[in-house]
Structure formats: structure tokens, C-alpha cells
Amino acid sequence: MTADTAVDTRPTKIMYVAEATAHGGRDGYVTSQDGQIELKVAMPPELGGDGNGTNPEQLFAAGYSSCFHNALILVGNREGYDLTGSTVAAKVGIGPNRQRGYGLAVALSVSLPVLDPNVAARLVDAAHDVCPYSNATRGNIDVTILLG
């Protein structure tokens, strides 16, 4: 996509601002300004840590899956579908990139057990256009969506 055809997904109005603070990086803890989050953070064993805490990839997976699921419910409701029983699971992978840093990859698994597969696929595509996480990551990381 060129700059001339890029879709601008920036918000036109900020409706809510979340605040969180990290203390100690991947071997510390994170807190939210409102006290709702107070979590120990630790490197997973696969990256050389003890795994005795959550990690940024788990937090990103939780945020993306809940945000995408809400977008899915929103577009489903707009079209008159009840998505009770639907779920979205996220897997977030981390690994080295070509710039000597690290990159992420996401796989979303969407379950819409009561819908026709064609309708489900259409709603998933629409949710991917609506979801703020999808808009933020589009073109920056690989996001695979599996419908099952």
C-alpha cells in the first residue's frame, strides 16, 4: 500500500486514555494508574527467564483478543446477529527481526459456532477493519486470523 492509498485509522477524538507503568522491565512489575493492574512481570523460560510472572506478549494477547472480540460483537450486532458463545483467542510470538531487534507475530483464532461459515468470515473481516489493535498492527506485524 502506498502513502497515497493508505487508509487513515488515527482517532479523530480521544474518548479514553489508559495509563500503565513498568517497573524493572521484563523482570519487575506493571501497574495501572487506576490500580486495576498490579502484575509481576518475568521473562518466560523460552527466553531465559523463570516464567514466574506474566509477560508483555501475554498482556498483548489478552488485549488484542478482547478488543477483537468486542469488534466482532459490535459488527455482529450491527447486522442483527447474536454472537453469544463466540470466542477469540490470541497467540503472540516474539523473535529476532532483520534489524537486530525483535518483532511480533499474532495468530487470532475465532470461534463463531452458530453462524454459517460465509457469514462468519464476513463478520471477521469487518471486525478486522474496526478493531483498534488490528488497525494499529496492520502493515507492521503479521496477523493471521483462523476461523474455526
Tens digit of each residue's pLDDT (9 = 90 or more) over 76-115: 999 999 999 999 999 999 999 999 999 999 999 999 998 9
Asked if the model's pLDDT at residue 2 lies above 60, the reply is no
What average pLDDT does range 41-66 have in this prediction?
Answer: 97
Residue 5's pLDDT is 58
What does the alpha-carbon distance between residue 10 and residue 47 come to, in Å, rounded to a whole number? Answer: 34
Residue 50 sits in the same domain as residue 78: no
**Final residue in a domain of this structure, among 32, 54, 76:** 54
Per-residue confidence band for 1, with pLDDT thresholds at 50, 70 and 90 = very low
* Domain encompassing residue 102: 55-147
Per-residue confidence band for 7, with pLDDT thresholds at 50, 70 and 90 = confident
Residues 92 and 62: beta-carbon distance below 8 Å: no
Per-residue confidence band for 50, with pLDDT thresholds at 50, 70 and 90 = very high
**Final residue in a domain of this structure, among 15, 34, 54:** 54
Whole-angstrom distance between the N-terminal and C-terminal Cα of the chain?
A: 29
Residue 3's pLDDT is 47
